[in-house]
Amino acid sequence: MTGNTSTHKLRRNLAAATVAALPLLAMAPSAAAIPQESATAEKTLTCRTDTDGYWGHAHCTNNGNVVRGFRASVVCGGWPDATGAWRTLNPGQSGLSSARCFGGTGVGSVTWEEG
């Protein structure tokens, strides 16, 4: 066997990481693509989420009396998660934030963050 020890360790670690990721790759992007709508005590916006497979969207309305910011937060199957651009909503205003999974199996779920 030729090659140095660090190369063999790297290959072994890469193989282990690939095997560990296989269950994530088996998830279908449409499995969690059911639109969601909610408003909780922590989240003062009323938001609806959806996906078309590789894009996740958060459609929010500010029903409160203060300015609020939000962004989409997307979990990507077998790929790094993504977040959309922050959007600022005045009272009574609606807006959209979107994020894209650039690989893997696409969108696993979509939610939003307020700030």
pTM of the model: 0.63
Does 3.10.450 match the CATH number of domain 45-114? no
80 pLDDT higher than 90? yes
Kindly report, residue by residue over 98-114, the tens digit of the pLDDT.
999 999 999 999 999 99
Q: Look at residues 71, 72, 75 and name the one whose alpha carbon lies nearest to residue 31.
A: 75
pLDDT of residue 47: 97
In single-letter form, the type of residue at position 24 comes to: L
The b-or-e profile of 70-106 (16+ CB within 10 A means b, else e) is bbbbbbbbbbeebebeebebeeeeebebbbebeebbb
pLDDT of residue 42: 52
User: What confidence category does residue 9 fall into, taking pLDDT thresholds of 50, 70 and 90?
Assistant: low
Domain boundaries, the chain: 45-114
Kindly report, residue by residue over 17-76, the tens digit of the pLDDT.
444 444 444 444 444 444 455 444 456 899 999 999 999 999 999 999 999 999 999 999
In this structure, how many other beta carbons lie within 10 angstroms of the beta carbon of residue 29? 20
